[in-house]
A and B are shown apart, each in its own frame.
Chain A
Amino acid sequence: MKLVKVTIDGIRTEAEDRTPLVQVAQKIGVKIPTLCHHPLVEPYGVCRICTVEVHMRGRVRLVTACNYPVTDGIEVFTQTDRVRRTRKLILEWLLARCGHVPLLNTLAAEYGITEPRFGRGDDTCILCGLCVRVCSDVVGAHALGFFNRGTTRYVGTPYDEPSDRCIACGACVEVCPTGCITMDDEVEQIRGELPLGPMTAIYIPTMQAVPHQPVIDYDSCIHFKTDACRVCAAVCEAKAIDHGQQDRREEIQVGSIIVATGFQPVDPQKVPQYGFGRYPNVVTALQVEHMVNASGPTNGQVLLKDGSRPQSVGIIHCVGSRDKNTHEYCSRVCCMYSLKLAHLVHERSGAKVYNFYIDMRSAGKGYEEFYNHLLEEGCEFIRGRVAEVSDWAVTPAEQGKLVIRVEDTLAGLVRRIPVDMVVLSTGLEAREDADEVRRLFNMSCSSEGWFLERHPKLAPVSTFTDGVFIAGCAQGPKDIPDTVAQAGAAAAEALALIDTGQVELEAYTAWIDEERCSGCQICVPLCPFSAIEFSREKKVSTLNEALCKGCGTCVAACPSHAAQQHHFTDAQIMTEIEGVLVR
Chain B
Amino acid sequence: MAFRSHVLVCAGTGCVSCGSFDLGAALEREIASRGLADEIQVVRTGCQGFCAEGPVLVVQPDEVFYCGLKTSDVATLVEEHLLKGRPVRKLMYTPPSAPAPVPKLSQIPFFAKQKLVVLRNRGLVDPERIDDYIARDGYEALAKAVTELTPEEIIREIKLSGLRGRGGGGFPTGVKWATCRQAALHRGVEPVIVCNADEGDPGAFMDRSIIESDPHAVIEGMAIGARAIGARQGFVYIRHEYPIARERLAKALDQARDYGLLGRGILGTKFDFDISVVQGAGAFVCGESTALMASLEGKAGEPRAKYIHTVEYGYKNLPTNLNNVETWANVPLIISRGAAWFASMGSGDVSENPWNGSSGTKVFSLVGKVNNTGLIEVPMGITLREIIFGIGGGIPRGRAFKAVQTGGPSGGCLPATHLDMPVDFDSLTAAGSMMGSGGMIVMDDQTCMVDVARYFIAFLTEESCGKCIPCREGLRCSLDVLTRITEGKGEEGDIALLEEMGAVMQDACLCALGSSAPNPVMSTLRYFRDEYEAHVRERRCPAGVCKALITYTIDQALCDGCHACVTACSTGAITGQVKYPHQLNQSLCIKCGACLDACKRNAVLRA
Contact = CB atoms under 8 A, between A and B. Distances in A.
A46 B308 contact: no
Given A93-B470, A150-B466, A68 B300 contact: no
Contacts of A51: 507-508
Contacts of B283: 149
Interface in B459-486: 461-470, 472-477, 480
Nearest to B467: A46
Contact of B307 (A68, A90, A146): A68
B501 interface: yes
B467 A97 contact: no
B500 interface: yes
Contacts of B464: 149-151
A90 B477 contact: no
A63 B307 CA distance: 9
Contact of A117 (B308, B467, B468, B497): B497
Interface string B523-550: 0000000000000000000000000000
B189 interface: no
B474 A93 contact: yes
Contacts of A148: 466
B305 interface: yes
Given A86-B504, A86-B507, A150-B465, A69 B470 contact: no
Interface size class of A (residues with CB under 8 A): 20 to 34
Nearest to B285: A149
B461 A150 contact: yes
Given A45-B510, A62-B507, A118-B477, A149 B466 contact: yes
B304 interface: yes
Given A67-B307, A93-B477, A146-B300, A48 B469 contact: yes
A82 to B, nearest CB: 7
A48 B465 contact: no
A48 B470 contact: yes
A151 B500 contact: no
Interface size class of B (residues with CB under 8 A): 20 to 34
A118 B480 contact: yes
A127 interface: yes
A90 B304 contact: no
Interface in A42-64: 43, 45-49, 51, 62-64
Contact of B308 (A69, A82, A89, A146): A69
A538 interface: no
Given A45-B304, A86-B507, A117-B497, A97 B473 contact: yes
A49 to B, nearest CB: 8
A489 interface: no
Contacts of A126: 469
A438 to B, nearest CB: 61
Contacts of B468: 45-48
Nearest to B476: A151
Contacts of B307: 63, 67-69
Interface string A70-107: 00000000000010011001100110110000000000
A132 to B, nearest CB: 11
Contact of A96 (B467, B473, B507, B509): B473
SS of B interface (majority): helix
A119 B424 CA distance: 42
B466 A151 contact: yes
A79 to B, nearest CB: 15
Contact of B462 (A82, A118, A150): A150
A64 B476 CA distance: 22
A216 B201 CA distance: 55
Contacts of B475: 150-151
Given A85-B504, A93-B477, A118-B480, A153 B472 contact: yes
A463 to B, nearest CB: 66
A153 B501 CA distance: 21
A99 to B, nearest CB: 12
A7 to B, nearest CB: 18
A149 B473 contact: no
B304 A47 contact: no
A146 B294 CA distance: 15
Given A67-B305, A97-B473, A89 B500 contact: yes
Interface string B301-341: 00011011000000000000000000000000000000000
Given A90-B504, A93-B474, A93-B477, A46 B469 contact: yes
Contacts of B476: 96, 151
Nearest to B481: A118
B277 to A, nearest CB: 24
A90 B508 CA distance: 9
A180 to B, nearest CB: 15
Nearest to B509: A48
Nearest to B474: A93
A64 B305 contact: yes
Contacts of A45: 304-305, 468, 510
Interface string A350-373: 000000000000000000000000
Contact of B469 (A93, A150, A152): A93
Interface string B496-517: 0100110110011110000000
A260 B129 CA distance: 89
Most buried by B among A48, A49, A86, A96: A48
Interface in A1-60: 43, 45-49, 51
Contacts of A127: 466, 469, 472
A93 B476 CA distance: 9
Contacts of A68: 305, 307
Contacts of A129: 467
B504 A46 contact: no
A86 B501 CA distance: 9
Given A67-B305, A90-B470, A93-B469, A150 B463 contact: yes
A403 to B, nearest CB: 60
Interface string A146-174: 10111111000000000000000000000
A193 B470 CA distance: 42
Most buried by A among B305, B461, B475, B500: B305
Most buried by A among B461, B469, B476, B500: B469
Nearest to A129: B467
A417 B141 CA distance: 102
Nearest to A153: B466
B473 A93 contact: yes
B470 to A, nearest CB: 6
Nearest to A127: B466
Nearest to A85: B504
A82 B465 contact: no
Contacts of A69: 307-308
A48 B505 CA distance: 10
B508 A48 contact: yes
B305 A89 contact: no
A97 B477 CA distance: 10
A94 B497 CA distance: 16
B456 to A, nearest CB: 15
B499 to A, nearest CB: 12
Nearest to A64: B305
A219 to B, nearest CB: 33
Contact of B465 (A89, A90, A149): A149
Contacts of A89: 470, 474, 500-501, 504
Pairs of residues from A and B, 4 with the lowest C-beta to C-beta distance, nearest first: A153-B466, A93-B473, A150-B464, A150-B466
Given A86-B504, A150-B465, 20 more contacts: A46-B468, A46-B469, A47-B469, A48-B470, A64-B305, A85-B500, A86-B508, A89-B474, A90-B469, A90-B508, A93-B469, A94-B469, A94-B473, A96-B477, A149-B283, A150-B472, A150-B475, A151-B461, A151-B464, A151-B475
Interface of A: 43, 45-49, 51, 62-64, 67-69, 82, 85-86, 89-90, 93-94, 96-97, 117-118, 126-127, 129, 146, 148-153
12 contacts: A46-B469, A68-B305, A68-B307, A85-B500, A86-B504, A93-B469, A126-B469, A146-B300, A148-B466, A150-B466, A150-B472, A153-B472
